Amino acid sequence: MTELSRETISSVENSTLSQIRDLDIDDVIAYLHTDLKKLPDYTSLYQRYHRQRWNAYELDFTQDLADWQNGMTQEERDAFTAVSAGFHHGERQVEVELPVFMLGGSEESKMFLASQIEDEARHMVFFDRFYREVVDLPGESMQELLDSSFGYISETFVGSFGLLAYLADDLRRDPEDPVRRVRYGTAYFLWIEGVLALTVMKVTLGFCRNRGLLPGYYTGFTASCRDEARHVQAGMRFLRDSVQEDPRLLLAVHDTLRAALTASATTSRRIPLEPLGWDLAGLQQEMMRQLWMKLSDVGISLPPDLDSMVSAIRTRS
């Protein structure tokens, strides 16, 4: 991971929505990792939320529509629609499944989670606007539009979001149970936000940046990525604190990762990454790299079987 200069960190940290378009997505992802070793407390992250909050309705998709219609091939549009659909649904899932986690934990964490729920709802609005105003999928209500894009999403997302939904149901039965909380936190903060989202967002954002296309999408999704930095840092703090307090909870992290990796190990259709400048091997390698970075930054080790599972994916890639 690239070491960021103070100037770049400050630029990522303080950019307004209109300035975010000039940021490099790799710098925003690197910014997320600059704080992972020390992990800010929930109050600091909540204060940062207020400084970095943006409005999804301020984005202008006029140029995006022109780019979509005239600057991209059909193959590129199909690939972009398919890859982004995972986020269209993902933002909805992480919004609606988060309140149950807020029923437990410290007051400071609850305060921060309230801001995270608002973030996720805003990200959901962003993707709703993009699919409605640029991609032009049919659907009057938000749910109808989600139903229109559901057919595009791959099992990697269906399995991961489904796992989160069922773990949320488990947690609802006993919101203070440490094992249920750690299972949920591993699926949500480590796997979905820390690995899946941060990897796959590079695909569409890299395409936009390299080709100089879809400025509204690039701005909104890069701002979302900066929000994710707060979420992942808070989530990693939760996992690190939980395991330090009770090392037996490491087992819950491992069990959840095993299920997430298994459920993400296949897809029923080819994911069209090549038109966006990626291939499946490169994507898998980046996912495992993101996983290793998170685990090593917060000091979570893997048992031999999981270690082999992750290494095999990296080697195969």
Partner 1 sequence: MTTNVTTNATTNATLTAPGFLTEQWAEDVRRALDSGPDEEARATKLPNYWRWIEGVRSAYSCSWALGVVGLTDAPDRPTYLHLDWQDGQCVKASVLGPAQPDEVPADYVLRADLATWQRLLSNECDPRRVVMYRELRLEKGDTLAFFQGIYFFAEAVGVLSKVPVRL
Q: Which of 58, 75, 166, 299 binds partner 1 (CB under 8 A)?
A: 166
Q: Which is nearer to partner 1, 59 or 260 (CB)?
A: 260
Residue span binding partner 1 (CB under 8 A) among the ranges 24-32, 206-214, 261-269, 283-291:
261-269
- d(CA 192, CA 232) in angstroms, rounded, equals 10
Q: Is 177 in the site for partner 1 (CB under 8 A)?
A: no
Q: How far is the CB of 245 from partner 1 (least distance, A)?
A: 22
104 by DSSP, 3-state: which? Answer: coil
Sign of CA dihedral 251, 256, 261, 266: positive
Closest alpha carbon to 135 in 118, 156, 110, 152: 152
Answer for which of 29, 263, 283, 300 binds partner 1 (CB under 8 A) is 263
Q: How far is the CB of 141 from partner 1 (least distance, A)?
A: 15
Q: Which is nearer to partner 1, 133 or 155 (CB)?
A: 155
CB of 113 to partner 1, least distance (A): 20
Under 8 Å between Cβ of 216 and 61? yes
Q: Which residue, 33 or 89, has its beta carbon nearer to partner 1?
A: 89
Which residues, at least 6 apart from 87, have a Cβ–Cβ distance to it below 8 Å?
123, 127, 197, 200, 201, 221
State the Cα–Cα distance between residues 219 and 224, nearest whole angstrom.
9
Do residues 55 and 124 lie in contact, with contact meaning Cβ atoms separated by under 8 Å? Answer: no
The answer to the question of residue 270 lying near partner 1 (CB under 8 A) is: yes
259 binds partner 1 (CB under 8 A): yes
Task: Determine which residue in the list 10, 43, 55, 150 makes contact with partner 1, applying CB under 8 A.
Answer: 150
Structure tokens at 157: 């997302």
The residues of the shown chain that bind partner 1, judged by CB under 8 A, are 89, 93, 150-151, 155, 158-159, 161-163, 165-170, 183, 255-256, 258-259, 262-263, 265-270
